[in-house]
Amino acid sequence: MNIKKVPAFTIIEVLIALILTAVVFTISFLSYKIVQDQFKDYSNSADRLVRYLELQKIINLDVDNSLYIEVTDEGFDSVFSDKSIHYFISDSLVVRRNENAVIDSFKFQIVNKQFLFKKNIVTEPGKCFDNLTLTLNINDQQSFIIAKKEYDAQTLMDISLF
């Protein structure tokens, strides 16, 4: 009987190739998962930063354009000639609303809030202030929102809230 040898791989060689391929695929999958998790963290961090900048812009616009701003039990009000914007500030949330509905909400850890009028701390509801400082914890770092209101002499004389 003539046995003809056919050039081929042995079972051991095929098994080693399969094992090496499996190791390469496993390393590739784990690397992809790590990169994907880092991208999610970066994306969430960037989203929190964008929301922080949006809150800062909105507060500064409301403070600048209002007639006056006053302390409330829950936070503060920006009072305009035809409306009021109410800010509810808790330890983990800032809600911006008008008389009818919630306009915006921002989920941040609020470390501290401070209202000042002529460099004196204001805590009594109904009293006006000219300087607002919110200390927030964003991405494990303290960030600040500082809004200042410039009152003209006429406004200071017109309102009896000071």
Residue 3 counted as domain residue: no
Residue 4 lies in a domain: no
Asked if residue 58 is part of any domain, the answer here is: yes
Give a yes or no: residue 136 inside a domain.
yes
Kindly report the average pLDDT of the chain as a whole number: 90
What pLDDT, on a 0 to 100 scale, did the predictor assign at position 99? 85
Q: Residue 142 in contact with residue 149, Cβ under 8 Å?
A: no
pTM score of the predicted model? 0.77
Q: Which domain holds residue 90?
A: 11-158
Measured distance CA(87)–CA(73) in Å, rounded: 10
pLDDT band, very low/low/confident/very high, at 1 (cuts 50, 70, 90): low
pLDDT of residue 90: 93
Measure the CA angle with vertex 58, ends 77 and 137; round to 5°: 90
Looking at the structure of the chain, the number of domains it has is 1
Nearest to 106 by CA among 59, 36, 141, 149: 59
Q: Looking at per-residue confidence, does 140 or 58 come out higher?
A: 58
Q: What is the pLDDT of residues 129-161, one digit of tens each?
A: 999 999 999 888 899 999 999 988 887 777 654
Q: Assess if residue 2 is contained within a domain.
A: no
